[in-house]
């Protein structure tokens, strides 16, 4: 897990690997119910029994028909499931339901709870009466305490129909209680991690299953002209599975696609500088949003979660690949113009790296971003080649990026 830190520098492994989950009013995960553990340490020794990799495998295998492509996964499965063989088929006194989620075959299907949520419950009374509301949308911010004023302003733009989930990268959690809403928010704390690191680990599709839309946002967005309920109305109206609010073009934005247009509700396609787009339906001319303020539908997120790599933490390149999860991508990925935000580009996590070889912390972070992008592209291209070769198919024209 050392590879998950921002730098392979001199920090002590134990310190690096400790993950603090802090909860208010009880529960972080439905399946980690426990009153008596305000902090939970995951260390190297119990990493292999972590639940996320297992869930991951279940999905990968369920979706693919090819054993060859998945050979590394298959061998891991062999190791972990030796006690999970189907019982003697004559023994009708035992339950065995192959269509249950993997690992739960011995349970009666009517009892299996395959999904959970972030709804906070109380410790007394009738469980049926715990929830006074069940928000249908989820918004997450990756935050440091220094940005609390901006996050407070952001949270106020999200109604009671949203579950608020904060990922803390600076270890300061309890101080947020100065805001009343913080007491009902979910707080996850792990030092110096990026939002894609948190998203992979704490936004598993089965955990966020009740939410129609999931906002995975940075902490430095200006939301004066944004209203979340209105935004969702537009996303539904225009059938957007992956979207972002338009960006006010105040400081040299990189992409035409994400710039706000004053005269429309939504746009899905744009023109870029000559030569930037090999195809008008491909990024960065269409089927493209940036990773600073994406909004995913439940189904889109179920796919994108599987695309996030455990060791690549900055998410560079992810925006160019999102289209692989959506068909047709140029119609279902778009930018909402009439609810828009300002990207304030406050250096935050970028300054949390470490100086190395005389380079400034942010330089090391930037270099790592680029390196990760290259690795991401190479892995994706290589996996696609393998897939088509194994399936005996000709690869399509791969002019994606």
From the CB of 91, what's the least distance to ligand NAG, in Å?
8
Which class for 333: exposed (0-12), middle (13-18), buried (19 or more C-beta within 10 A)?
A: buried
Is residue 85 near ligand NAG by the rule CB under 6 A? no
* Candidate list 7, 22, 80, 161; residue touching ligand NAG; CB under 6 A: 161
- Is the preceding omega at residue 341 within 30 degrees of 0, hence cis? no
Stretches 72-80, 83-91, 240-248, 293-301: which one binds ligand NAG (CB under 6 A)? 83-91
DSSP secondary structure letter of residue 138: E
Among 159, 174, 386, 390, binds ligand NAG (CB under 6 A): 159
58 dihedral zone (left: phi>0; alpha: psi -120 to 50; beta): alpha
> 330, 283 in Cβ contact below 8 A?
no
**Which one, of 300, 299, 274, lies nearest residue 285 by Cα?**
274
> Residue 229, interface with ligand NAG (CB under 6 A)?
yes
Binding mask 104-143 for ligand NAG (x = CB under 6 A): ----------------------------------------
The stretch among 84-92, 168-176, 234-242, 293-301 that binds ligand NAG (CB under 6 A) is 84-92
Residue 54 to residue 102: CA distance in whole angstroms: 9
CA distance 148 to 178: 10
Under the criterion CB under 6 A, does residue 92 sit at the interface with ligand NAG? no
Counting contacts by CB under 6 A, is residue 90 touching ligand NAG? yes
The nearer residue to ligand NAG, 228 or 312, going by C-beta atoms, is: 228
Q: Whole-number minimum distance, CB 231 to ligand NAG, in Å?
A: 11
Name the one residue in this structure whose structure tokens are 């289209």: 323
Nearest residue to 218 (alpha-carbon basis) of 308, 345, 110: 345
- Least separation in angstroms between residue 135's CB and ligand NAG is 8
- CA distance linking residue 45 with residue 47, whole number of Å: 6
Binding mask 343-382 for ligand NAG (x = CB under 6 A): ----------------------------------------
Binding residues (CB under 6 A) for ligand NAG: these are 88-90, 159, 161, 229
């Amino acid at each position: 897990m050392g590879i998950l830190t921002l730098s392979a520098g001199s920090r002590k492994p134990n310190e690096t690997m400790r993950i603090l989950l802090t909860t208010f009013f009880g529960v972080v995960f439905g399946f980690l119910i426990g009153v008596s553990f305000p902090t939970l340490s995951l260390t190297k020794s119990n990493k292999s029994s972590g639940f996320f990799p297992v869930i991951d495998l279940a999905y990968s295998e369920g979706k693919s028909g090819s054993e060859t492509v998945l050979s590394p996964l298959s061998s891991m499965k062999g190791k972990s499931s030796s006690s999970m063989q189907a019982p003697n088929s004559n023994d009708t006194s035992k339950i065995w339901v192959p269509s249950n989620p993997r690992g739960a075959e011995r349970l009666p299907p009517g009892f299996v709870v395959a999904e959970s949520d972030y709804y906070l419950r109380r410790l007394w009374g009738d469980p049926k009466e715990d929830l006074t509301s069940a928000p249908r949308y989820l918004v997450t911010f990756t935050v440091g305490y220094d940005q609390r004023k901006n996050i407070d302003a952001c949270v106020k733009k999200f109604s009671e129909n949203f579950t608020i989930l904060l990922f803390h990268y600076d270890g300061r959690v309890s101080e947020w209680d100065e805001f009343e809403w913080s007491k009902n928010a979910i707080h996850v704390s792990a030092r110096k991690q990026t939002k894609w690191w948190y998203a992979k680990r704490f936004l598993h599709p089965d955990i966020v299953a009740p939410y129609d839309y999931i906002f995975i946002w940075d902490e430095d967005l200006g939301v004066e002209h944004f209203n979340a309920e209105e935004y969702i109305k537009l996303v539904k109206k225009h059938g957007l599975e992956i979207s972002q609010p338009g960006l006010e073009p105040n400081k040299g934005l990189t992409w035409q696609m994400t710039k706000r247009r004053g005269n429309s509700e939504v746009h899905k396609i744009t023109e870029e500088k000559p030569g930037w787009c090999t195809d008008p339906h491909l990024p960065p001319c269409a089927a493209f949003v940036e990773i600073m303020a994406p909004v995913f539908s439940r189904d889109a997120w179920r796919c994108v979660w599987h695309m996030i790599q455990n060791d690549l933490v900055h998410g560079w390149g992810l925006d160019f690949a999102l289209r692989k999860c959506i068909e047709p991508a140029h119609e279902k990925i778009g930018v909402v113009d009439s609810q828009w935000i300002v990207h304030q580009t406050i250096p935050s996590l970028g300054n949390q790296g470490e100086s190395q070889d005389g380079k400034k912390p942010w330089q090391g972070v930037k270099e790592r971003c680029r390196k990760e992008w290259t690795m991401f592209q190479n892995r994706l291209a290589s996996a696609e080649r393998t897939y088509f070769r194994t399936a005996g198919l000709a690869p399509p024209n791969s002019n994606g990026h």
